[in-house]
Amino acid sequence: MKAVSTRLRSLAVELWLPVLVVVVWWFWSGSAGLQFYPPLSEILVRFQEMWLFDQFVSDVLPSLRNLLVGYTLAALVGIACGVIMAQLPIARRALEPIVHFLRSVPPVALVPLAILLLGFGPGMKMTIIAFSAVFATLIATLDGVRAADPVLAEVTRVYRISGRDRLLRVTLPAAAPQILGGLQVSLVIAFVVMITSEMLASTEGIGYLTILAQQTFAITDMWAGMLLLGLLGYLFNRLFTLAERRILHWHTGMREQAKTA
Amino acid sequence: MAITVTRDRMAPVATRWTGSGVAVGSTAVVACLLAWELAARGPLADAPFPTVVEIVRSLLGLLATGAFWSSLGQTLTTALMGLALAIGAGVVLGVLLGSVEFAYRSTRLIIEILKPIPPIVIMPLVILLLGPSAEMGVVLVLYGCVWPILIQTVAGVRDADPVLIDTARSFGFGTAQRAVQIVLPGAAAFIVTGVRIAGSAAFVIAVVSELVGGAPGIGHELFVTQNAGLYSEMYALVAVMGGVGLGFNTALHAFEKWMLHWHPSVRGEVTA
């Protein structure tokens, strides 16, 4: 019994403020004179009307497809180039200055150039998402592979482990914590660039509908769009953290052991 | 243990710039520029793909105008003001949440939900409230930068050595004195890392607020040149942004090192 009441109390401590915020928002929004804060109940109704499922196929799916294709491309290319650059000193020396410069360009600033060169279609969006997101993963992979324990490389050589086995069983697992850190940053960048490319150049997508609603003073629609984008941002992060924990469970386990030892 | 936590996984391994490294690197840069020039003259001559020579000419033209420098200054002011406000808010709130367990647990869920939501998501609302102004940009930078600083500060404060605090208490240090003389210096390494992570986003967010939101600055210039069809100016502006971004990040790394010169993680350059 005591354990139950302790858990209930701890749950109450975690939840009272978030619940209070929602309750205050619910009753305070929509009161007189708040033209930019429509009632939360109306926002939820519009959310349901817009995204479930009226514009789901026409706008939500294209956004998610662009993000998924662009991000997958960025992840694959980033990891591949990172491993190659880490193992070929000449490639690393040659490409590092260029990579660091391109990484420093605000990704969003590349969207106008992409529009210029590739037009307004989904191909442009996937390309610019992939291009913007690739550098975080590439640099993290490069650093991760290079920072691996040198003894590991020696043992691998002594046991004559090479080719595919070395890559999949030694190099990539050793660098996995860094690579996943880079992939997480890439995911955030890809998400931001997805929204931006839709806000700047589109006739479809969640970002387009949200900024259009803002420009036409359809305030409730704008809130519904922000709610969906916020929800997606939170969900992507949550899913990534779960996947990361799964992939790295051996790594965190080892760290815990080292801590208690 | 504290040291391994403050070193985030994205921190690059120190690169040694040997003489041959610089030579190879600059050769590659020159080769890329040459390839660009040839592509722009040959197969892409009809595309909106200006030659390097044209871009450099536009760049020099831009550098000679006062308007360019004032918009660049505007962007940097937005980024730095937002960052400064984020540091202030993040450190004060972080010390509070880090030292009061009830406050920490009450706000944890809200922070968890808001942290992964990028500033561009709330931009439509902020534009409605503040218009396409510099203030709008500052608010977005503040929102985007405050989370890493807040979270790092909380972690740093919670990491404080209890023996140190008890010692200070037995020497008669008051609460405020303990916070300023014991807890804050102990958390400094965490906070500075948070500032570096946040800072690298500050410039990017300022540019977003200008390009998409219409706030004055170099991002807005890019929007204007795009609409005017000034292609080589667009490329020149993007190159400038890359250079400024690189400078911003280099300065942040130097700042981190300078602030933490006394800290073991910098002194020894341990690869923990």
Which residue type is seen at A170? V
What's the confidence (pLDDT) of residue B4?
A: 40
The chain A residue lying nearest B119, using CA atoms, is A192
Give tens-digit pLDDT for A109-125. 999 999 988 888 899 99
B49/A contact by beta carbon, under 8 A:
yes
Looking at the partner chain, which of A104, A136, A146 has a beta carbon nearest the beta carbon of B245? A104
Looking at the partner chain, which of A181, A210, A229 has a beta carbon nearest the beta carbon of B10? A181
Are A99 and A135 a contacting pair, CB within 8 Å? yes
The chain A residue lying nearest B9, using CA atoms, is A178
Q: Give percent of chain A with pLDDT exceeding 70.
A: 95
> In whole angstroms, how far apart are CA A2 and each of A46, B105, B169?
44, 21, 34
Average pLDDT over residues A149-162: 83
Confidence at A261, pLDDT banded by 50, 70, 90: very low
Give A-chain residues touching B24 at CB under 8 angstroms: 90, 93-94
Are A143 and A97 a contacting pair, CB within 8 Å? no
Q: Which residue has the tokens 């993290």?
A: A140
B222/A contact by beta carbon, under 8 A:
yes
The chain B residue lying nearest A10, using CA atoms, is B105
What's the confidence (pLDDT) of residue B257?
A: 86
Average pLDDT over residues A198-208: 87
Looking at the partner chain, which of A188, A192, A210 has a beta carbon nearest the beta carbon of B124? A210
Average pLDDT over residues B55-73: 93
Looking at the partner chain, which of A93, A181, A238 has a beta carbon nearest the beta carbon of B21? A93
**Cβ within 8 Å, pair B212-A108:** yes
Checking if the pLDDT of B8 tops 50, the result is no
Q: Closest Cα of chain A to B128: distance in Å?
A: 7
**Cβ within 8 Å, pair A13-B129:** no
Q: From A36, A30, A28, select the one nearest A217 (Cα to Cα).
A: A36
Whether this prediction's pTM lies above 0.95 is answered by: no
Average pLDDT over residues B134-156: 95
What ipTM did this prediction achieve?
Answer: 0.88
Q: Closest Cα of chain B to A84: distance in Å?
A: 16
Burial (CB count within 10 angstroms: exposed 0-12, middle 13-18, buried 19+), residue B186: middle
Q: What is the DSSP string of B40-56?
A: HHTTTTTSS---HHHHH
Give tens-digit pLDDT for A170-184. 888 889 999 999 999
Distance from C-alpha of B19 to C-alpha of B28, rounded to nearest angstrom: 14
Checking if the pLDDT of B260 tops 90, the result is no
B227/A contact by beta carbon, under 8 A:
no
Which residue type is seen at A147? A
Checking if the pLDDT of B5 tops 60, the result is no
Q: From A149, A38, A109, A189, select the one nearest B271 (Cα to Cα).
A: A149
Q: From B56, B74, B71, select the one nearest B239 (Cα to Cα).
A: B56
A139/B contact by beta carbon, under 8 A:
yes
Mutate to test the interface with B, among A22, A25, A34, A93 (most CBs of B within 10 A): A93
Query: What is B50-267's CATH number, 1.10.3720.10, 2.60.40.10, 3.40.630.30, 3.30.390.30?
Result: 1.10.3720.10
**Cβ within 8 Å, pair B212-A200:** yes
Query: Which comes out higher in pLDDT, residue A258 or B126?
Result: B126
**Cβ within 8 Å, pair A192-B120:** yes
Looking at the partner chain, which of B13, B25, B29 has a beta carbon nearest the beta carbon of A147? B13
Give B-chain residues touching A191 at CB under 8 angstroms: 118
Query: Which comes out higher in pLDDT, residue B139 or A88?
Result: B139
B131/A contact by beta carbon, under 8 A:
no
Checking if the pLDDT of B268 tops 60, the result is no
Query: Which domains does chain A possess?
Result: 39-260 (1.10.3720.10)
